[in-house]
Chains A and B, each alone.
Chain A
Amino acid sequence: MSDFSEELKGPVTDDEVETSVLTGAGMHFPWLQTYIETVAIGGKRKKDFAQTTSACLSFIQEALLKHQWQQAAEYMYSYFQTLEDSDSYKRQAAPEIIWKLGSEILFYHPKSNMETFNTFADRMKNIGVMNYLKISLQHALYLLHHGMLKDAKRNLSEAETWRHGENTSSRGILINLIQAYKGLLQYYTWSKKKMELSRLDKDDYAYNAVAQDVFNHSWKTSANISALIKIPGVWDPFVKSYVEMLEFYGDRDGAQEVLTNYAYDEKFPSNPNAHIYLYNFLKRQKAPRSKMISVLKILYQIVPSHKLMLEFHTLLRKSEKEEHRKLGLEVLFGVLDFAGCTKNITAWKYLAKYLKKTLMGNHLAWVQDEWNSRKNWWPSFHFSYFWAKSDWKEDTALACEKAFVAGLLLGKGCRYFRYILKQDHQILGKKIKRMKRSVKKYSIVNPRLSY
């Protein structure tokens, strides 16, 4: 606990209304607190001290919003007195608020520099044991931001070995986080050394020394990071660098275990990157197709518009299972549902080819399954006259692919298809003719009903 939290055990004076009963229980309802406070002081008005300091806080916030760092600093000058608030709850909350606001001001204020920030951080760290670790970590991040890697590392090491006050669970996580950041910094140096190594010739006299260095670095880092990534959370940069190092030293099983755990452990929050990392790893390891398909299947459920979906489609297309091939079509339609993907020529090319293949393979039902839910909005979303004109202007190849798809889905009477057909293009002429033939043959629309 903070060194100020205990201090009010002394006698309670007349004007002092202690509410520690409420705050001490581990639960805190601000509205209840204020309600009880007003009851306890017999409906008297709030003290002016409380009023002015809360007004001061909103002035600081307003100044920060407007980027008026100078004004913010002026109000901050007065806000420090909340550290001496006679209301123990507010006094305990003060250091964190002051740290957050103060560091923000010092980060942007034109007159501020590294030195002022460092002194401020050191002061705030020691204002109560509660915030030491959190502030140390944020201080280190600030130093990193300014490229002071060595100082950041020293800061983290100091925080790591800091042993004051009680051990709580939240603190354990913080220590893990601090160690992991330290690990990340070590990874950075390692990675630089590795780069150096790759540039050196094996016969170079320096090679051995550098190689030794690279190897020495690794075990420390892995120990630092591994503890953190076992705790549920999103730890992308840590996992990525950890896996890179494991792979470098040939511990494939270890790497796979980490990634599998990160992707599949239900306690972890849903994280698309976890699946992407695992898929990329499997790809590097040349894992069997079915394994990769099962990984991407989950990613497909989380982010159906991800660019890996096209790779997913090729995997599915090659699969022997009919179920997979149907999914392959579904995935393509899914990608093109998103506005950000409408100009993705690969997606359209794949769809055009695959639609033809599917229809040739007598799987009209698959196509209709997908099309039924889209026929209301795809025509205006993708195949309007406007799009035909602008697509043709920007990218004729894309326009051709789209026209083919439009023809297959909407019939040869569709406006997009007709517009592209009308265009006279020397190189694409043959292709367009072929397309026309295919459309006539395979279009899912009864030609008499088309418009």
Chain B
Amino acid sequence: MDLEEAEEFKERCSQCAAVSWGLTDEGKYYCTSCHNVTERSQEVINTDLIPNTQIKALNRGLKKKNNSEKGWDWYVCEGFQNILCQQAEALKNLGIGPELKNDVLHNFWKRYLQKSKQAYCKNPVYTTGRKPTVLEDNLSHSDWASEPELLSDVSCPPFLESGAESQSDIHTRKPFPISKASQSETSVCSGSLDGVEYSQRKEKGVVKMTVPQTLAFCYLSLLWQREAITLSDLLRFVEEDHIPYINAFQHFPEQMKLYGRDRGIFGIESWPDYEDIYKKTIEVGTFLDLPRFPDITEDCYLHPNILCMKYLMEVNLPDEMHNLTCHVVKMTGMGEVDFLTFDPIAKMAKTVKYDVQAVAIIVVVLKLLFLLDDNLEWSLSNLAEKHNEKNKKDKPWFDFRKWYQIMKKAFDEKKQKWEEARAKYLWKSEKPLYYSFVDKPVAYKKREMVVNLQKQFSTLVDSTATAGKKSPSSFQFNWTEEDTDRTCFHGHSLQGVLKEKGQSLLTKNSLYWLSTQKFCRCYCTHVTTYEESNYSLSYQFILNLFSFLLRIKTSLLHEEVSLVEKKLFEKKYSVTKKKSRSKKARRH
């Protein structure tokens, strides 16, 4: 046994993780600290010394394998391109038109590469001074102009569509100047060519691509197409695994190896956060210098009138409330095209949180009708209950208490299920990410162990309990007239809470309280803070319910409610009265 001969073998021992190898008489490596013998044999350098042909054969086999282990040469931006491609494909499967992928997202991405000087320009940013030939090359094959017009009408073979396959073609025929071998020997390494450099790159004014950023791209494209998907829907689909995001890298072509710094770039251990993606969307939109987006008009899904209808249905509130929400939208001017349309070039680029805003409008209407002070809503419910008992044949009055009881139960069940599903979420990919080749066997062994343990425990689990993924839906709650257990309130009337006055209807409740008294005057972006215990229980419940639907923080919704109120009671705000009266007559 010779210790010195074994020095070239640098992998960690799978038993004790030490790197201290000796050679057995058969030429196999064994760990000197735990005596674990590996399957690997010494690579024979001097074949004269050991006249064993079998070892030579093994040796040759190993060397070939090493080459394939290193995989292709690829760039970080190609990784993101692959993820975007997967996401666009998934959106298409959700029923979004193919134009989104082929025209919009594709063009946004091209524009990004150009703006960040990674491609489609004369001097790409790479430190090596070499252009990312992959993309350039691909371009020259197509008949696109070198300066791509945004949303040009050129109907060209969609280059994103071919996805993985086309990339594999490119890779095999591309000779690359950077040698991988020299990189993997240094302590900092990556599977991609520019992973190390990319993770260190910091350039002013350039939006650096990250995995969450891919969702910003998706949302921008959806917005451009005025598709019927809100940001909260998109993020929920991500969480429900309908859109690739976490571990999207595991669907990269086999030969695109990820390790080292790539782990920090592509490995994601959190679900996307609404505010974060919202901010990134604006950032990307401004960075790409996009023109004004197509108008959001009254017939668009994202228009508050339509979204309000949708959310009223979702939370089982009477259809009649829609008239009131429309009225609020009209009075606040939140239905205006200029207000709703995203214009990145405008002085203050901002887009509307369509879903949050629609929900906030509903909250405001609920406050107008029921005050939500833990008092009035209950006495109004008593009236409704009595009325409904007496007049069983008429259209029933909306009973807030009954609605609360049903919604509370449904909401608690839903939330419990959601929490359980989250706790069961499997984060780790089939392809483990490791830091370097030295750690690779350990990472793979660990993965194998987890898989084995899971296999063992899966026999203990009731097979009926693990039903497959639920199909994507923009509705999370379902209310139908047929369901006898859960009353559907869509058809209930608001007569109990409105009174006629001449030609118009007035809310019986003439009081109102503002969610926020004073707005922050400093330059910070937050409008107000939400301290739960300061508010009535009904208000808390309604905020919790809606913020759960949108998967956002309650404080964000509270903030939006305050903003809607600010617009609705502009005059009152300048006086800052504690309780302002809303004497606005509402047409019915």
A109-127 vs B: 1/0 string, CB under 8 Å? 1011000100110010011
Establish whether residues A48 and B271, one from each chain, have CB atoms under 8 Å apart when the complex forms: yes
Partner of B423, one of A8, A55, A70, A116: A55
Indicate whether B15 reaches chain A with its CB closer than 8 angstroms.
Answer: yes
On chain B, the residues within 8 Å of A129 by CB distance are 15-16, 34
12 residue pairs from A and B, CB less than 8 Å apart: A6-B12, A7-B442, A8-B435, A10-B439, A13-B261, A15-B264, A73-B457, A73-B461, A74-B465, A116-B460, A120-B456, A127-B449
Indicate whether B478 reaches chain A with its CB closer than 8 angstroms.
Answer: no
- 20 additional A-B pairs beyond A74-B461, A76-B457, beta carbons within 8 Å, are A1-B16, A3-B442, A4-B17, A8-B435, A10-B260, A10-B439, A11-B188, A11-B435, A45-B270, A47-B269, A49-B427, A55-B423, A56-B423, A70-B462, A78-B423, A81-B450, A102-B453, A111-B459, A164-B16, A164-B34
Give Cα A81 to B35, complex, Å: 28
Minimum distance in angstroms from B437 CB to a CB of chain A: 10
On chain B, the residues within 8 Å of A163 by CB distance are 34-35
A40-53 vs B: 1/0 string, CB under 8 Å? 00000101111011
Give Cα A39 to B199, complex, Å: 21
Indicate whether A311 reaches chain B with its CB closer than 8 angstroms.
Answer: no
Residue ranges of A at the interface with B (Cβ–Cβ < 8 Å): 1-8, 10-11, 13-16, 45, 47-50, 52-53, 55-56, 59, 69-70, 73-78, 80-81, 83-84, 86, 98, 102, 105-106, 109, 111-112, 116, 119-120, 123, 126-127, 129, 163-165
A11-B189 contact given A6-B17, A78-B423, A129-B34, CB 8 Å threshold? yes
A109-B460 contact given A74-B424, A78-B426, CB 8 Å threshold? yes
Minimum distance in angstroms from A72 CB to a CB of chain B: 9
Q: Which chain A residue has the least Cβ–Cβ distance from B451? A: A80
On chain A, the residues within 8 Å of B152 by CB distance are none
Establish whether residues B453 and A80, one from each chain, have CB atoms under 8 Å apart when the complex forms: yes
Partner of A111, one of B446, B450, B460: B460
On chain A, the residues within 8 Å of B199 by CB distance are 13-14
Partner of B426, one of A15, A16, A81, A126: A81
Partner of A2, one of B17, B270, B427, B443: B17
On chain B, the residues within 8 Å of A112 by CB distance are 460
On chain B, the residues within 8 Å of A164 by CB distance are 15-16, 33-36
B450-486 vs A: 1/0 string, CB under 8 Å? 1011101111111001100000000000000000000
Minimum distance in angstroms from A256 CB to a CB of chain B: 43
On chain A, the residues within 8 Å of B107 by CB distance are none
Give Cα A191 to B169, complex, Å: 76
On chain B, the residues within 8 Å of A49 by CB distance are 269-270, 427
Establish whether residues A4 and B446, one from each chain, have CB atoms under 8 Å apart when the complex forms: yes
Minimum distance in angstroms from B330 CB to a CB of chain A: 38
Count chain A CB atoms within 10 A of each CB in B422, B428, B457 and give the residue with the most.
Answer: B457
Establish whether residues A3 and B188, one from each chain, have CB atoms under 8 Å apart when the complex forms: no
On chain B, the residues within 8 Å of A80 by CB distance are 450, 453-454, 457
Indicate whether B13 reaches chain A with its CB closer than 8 angstroms.
Answer: yes
Give Cα A45 to B273, complex, Å: 11
Establish whether residues B424 and A75, one from each chain, have CB atoms under 8 Å apart when the complex forms: yes
Establish whether residues B442 and A86, one from each chain, have CB atoms under 8 Å apart when the complex forms: no
Give Cα A8 to B435, complex, Å: 8
Partner of B446, one of A70, A83, A106: A83
Partner of B17, one of A5, A50, A83, A109: A5
Establish whether residues B436 and A10, one from each chain, have CB atoms under 8 Å apart when the complex forms: yes
A3-B270 contact given A13-B263, A70-B461, A84-B450, CB 8 Å threshold? no
Establish whether residues A4 and B264, one from each chain, have CB atoms under 8 Å apart when the complex forms: no
Q: Which chain B residue has the least Cβ–Cβ distance from A72? A: B460
For the complex of A and B, the 10 pairs showing the least CB-CB separation, nearest first, are A10-B435, A13-B264, A3-B17, A49-B269, A73-B460, A164-B34, A56-B423, A48-B270, A14-B264, A55-B423
